[in-house]
Amino acid sequence: MRHLTTLFILLLSTLSALAQSVSISPNIGYQGDNSLPVTISGVGTSFSQASPSLVQVTQGVNALNFTPQFLNSGTEMTGFLGIPANAIPGHYALTVDDLFGNYTQPGAFLVLPASGDLVFGRVILDINQNCVDDPTEIGIEGINVLINPIGVIVQTGPGGYWSLPALPTGNYSAVVGGTGSWMLTCPPTQFFTVSNSNALTLAPSFGMVNTNPCPDPVVSVFAPFIRRCFSNQRVYVSACNGNMGTGTIFGAYVDLELDDYMLATGSSIPYTSLGNNVFRFDVGDIDPGNCATFWVATTISCNTLLGETLCMQAEMYPVDPCMLDTIPAVPIPPGTDPNFTLPDPCTLPWDHSSLLVNGWCADDSVHFSITNTGTFGSGDMLCESPVFLYVNDTLISINSIQLAGQEVLNYTFAANGGTWIMAAEQHPLHPGNSHPNAHVEACGTTMDNWIPGMVNNFPTNDADPVIDIYCGEVTGSYDPNDKRGFPKGLTEDHLILPNRSIDYVIRFQNTGTDTAFNIVVRDTLDFDLDIFSVRAGVSSHDYTFQTYGPRVLEWTFSNIMLPDSTTDQAGSNGFLTFKVDQLSNLSNGTMITNDADIYFDFNDPIITNETWHQVDDMLQSAPVGATFITLEEEEVEVYPNPTSNSIFLDNSEELVGAKFIISDLNGNIVKEGVLNYQHNEINLEELAAGVYVIRINDSIPVRIVRL
């Protein structure tokens, strides 16, 4: 009868040749009352009849002791080995010792977690890489395991064990994926059979070994609300050493850079001001599986605009080179537009260059600078790198740069109020996943071209685990219980590049009439996202996290005591964040959707809005949202379409001087002119929102939409 907290399984091994033996009975498994029957048999005269024999059970530094007994030669003694209910799951070695230092070690037994489940498996740190769960090897916590054909995700806990309730009889498989520098020493898929649903089933173990032993740093920053003229707008930061880390991060600290419109007024832990709105927080040593969290109170300037984007950046130190991956960047696919030409791919070793992009608004102009922060001479660029310029989600130009170490290249453009983003690519073998970019929005004397919120359509440069950037819009109010994905994606189609991660934020608010004691958030992950890559980020309150079922992520905020919004409006809010990778090399057009269910105590769930993204690998190669006007032997590219205030016409040199005509749907000409260049901007701000047609010379008219 299984009414107890601990299970025991004997793993038999060869007895030593000493003069006594130890057995555990029964030898095929035991379910009992937190005690294990142990029989010691004296089989010779090697020991003095007065020598007490001590049975000791050890698991690393953990020991469980059996009461010393006198064992006469040729006799047998049976006792019970007490196992505490809080015993750490895992293998325990059984040793018999006497006063003369003689011992026998017949094997080991296994303590499984007290979960009440009947199907167990384990992921081990396979030191000898033999894909065998040896008694001396420890388990790895926090590994996701996919159980097929039921499509259920389980996560390893203490001792590296995963478990499931009773499964129907049949054949199953368990799948584990490699993570970062962790490599499997076993096949990624292991098979097991449940022959009796009411009996214990132990699935094959997985072995893993770290090919690059290293801590596993993850830093996260988020501000749930950014309200102009308001104080106590908190910025939350977490600095963690993940479960997959193999060492402590010693002397960790975080540098937090706030937007110029944010004034720091207090924090939960002390900090040192470094100037330029950068603050350093010492968080001490961080062991694997642990985090340091803090918040900073800020006041938002009244000079901000509603909808303007304010950014904050958290960077975690110290940075060991092993923390950054060395996977070469995926080449950018070439486009078909002759006006957008990429430089030849670089095949040389890393030249120790490192690019930095900055942007600012001054004198009614948009300014960008690109700096090669590498050392002059030893950090000179040996290859050209592409530079992309976007205005209001539209790729305007592609240039190439090749800078010496410490060289700076400046760009200046006439401001039009739109959202300008300049992005550059690092050398393909640059350590980590850096994709430097900067933005300038709402710059100039007119705001007619400004569309709030477009900054977050483009990904921030925070793919490396030691850096995180959050850009939030200044708001006057907010919607409770929502979900957002970053980047939002370019254009109304929410286009994102493949092989990039997505940051998700789930916000919740207790809009009821009483305190919420417990909150559970469940998110069923899209099948085009990599369940094995999920990394929980900063949150407003402490939680426990698990992955289970058919790709379900679950956060449990126990005893959160969240007041209702009528009692404490500010205190009634909470949030959580997480990051997840796409599956590798998703095809263009792949749709990624996601929502979440929020449970307040025993109430029905509140279902958030659905986020969605569409994969497109041509975002860096061709104008987004473009249409084409076809003449006899020429094409003119028209973009963006739809548009807010301007369209761009890109044409060949042969069409310079050609006439364009824009008409409404009644045939009335509303605008006409001449293509003076190969790249032409046509201002439509005087036109009312609606559908128009454009033609060049005698071409077939093409529809354009003015938003």
Q: What are 672-685's pLDDT values in tens digits? A: 999 998 888 999 88
**65-73: Cβ within 8 A, 24+ apart:** 66/38, 69/40, 71/20, 71/40, 71/42, 71/47, 72/42, 73/42, 73/44, 73/45, 73/46, 73/47, 73/49
Are 685 and 644 a contacting pair, CB within 8 Å?
no
Alpha-carbon distance of 498 to 619, in angstroms, equals: 10
Q: Is the preceding omega at residue 318 within 30 degrees of 0, hence cis?
A: yes
pLDDT of residue 192: 96
- 17-21, 260-264, 266-270, range with the lowest pLDDT: 17-21
User: Residue 598: which of 499, 491, 522 has the closest Cα?
Assistant: 522
User: Residue 73: which of 19, 18, 37, 15 has the closest Cα?
Assistant: 19
Alpha-carbon distance of 575 to 505, in angstroms, equals: 7
C-alpha of 187 from chain center: 25
Taking the CA atoms of 311, 232, 306 and 610 in sequence, report the sign of the dihedral they define.
positive
Beta strands 206-210 and 119-125 are: parallel
Give yes or no for residue 410 having a pLDDT over 80.
yes
Residue with tokens 């132990």: 202
Amino acid at position 510, single letter: N
> 3-class SS at 572?
helix
Amino acid at position 313, single letter: Q
pLDDT of residue 201: 87
Residue 163 or residue 136, greater confidence: 163
Mean of the per-residue pLDDT values of the chain: 82
Section 118-140 average pLDDT: 86
- 78-92, 137-151, 541-555, range with the lowest pLDDT: 78-92
Question: pLDDT, tens digit, for every residue of 335-353?
Answer: 766 667 899 999 999 999 9
Section 169-181 average pLDDT: 86
- Residue 607: partners with Cβ closer than 8 Å, 6 or more residues away: 595, 596, 597, 598
| pLDDT band, residue 408 (cuts 50/70/90) | very high
Q: What is the DSSP letter of 136?
A: T
pLDDT of residue 71: 44
> In DSSP terms, which residues pair with 93 in a beta bridge?
58, 108
Counting beta carbons within 10 angstroms of the beta carbon of residue 695, is it exposed (0 to 12), middle (13 to 18) or buried (19 or more)? middle
CA angle 317, 319, 320 (to 5 degrees): 150
User: Residue 81: which of 24, 38, 39, 32 has the closest Cα?
Assistant: 38
Domains and CATH numbers, the chain: 7-112 (2.60.40.1930), 119-210 (2.60.40.10), 217-316 (2.60.40.1170), 351-465 (2.60.40.10), 480-538+548-621 (2.60.40.740), 627-706 (2.60.40.3080)
Give yes or no for residue 689 having a pLDDT over 90.
no
Give the Å distances, CA to CA, from 646 to 55, 685, 704. 84, 7, 11
The conformational region for residue 621 under phi > 0 = left, psi -120 to 50 = alpha, else beta, is: alpha
Alpha-carbon distance of 278 to 256, in angstroms, equals: 6
Question: pLDDT, tens digit, for every residue of 141-173?
Answer: 888 899 999 888 888 887 788 888 889 999 999
Beta strands 309-317 and 290-300 are: unpaired
Section 365-379 average pLDDT: 97
Give yes or no for residue 700 having a pLDDT over 90.
no
Are 564 and 573 a contacting pair, CB within 8 Å?
no
Give yes or no for residue 46 having a pLDDT over 70.
no
Section 419-431 average pLDDT: 95
pLDDT of residue 55: 41
Give yes or no for residue 105 having a pLDDT over 50.
no
| pLDDT band, residue 509 (cuts 50/70/90) | very high
Instruction: Indicate the pTM of the whole model.
Output: 0.75
Residue 10 or residue 401, greater confidence: 401
pLDDT of residue 54: 39
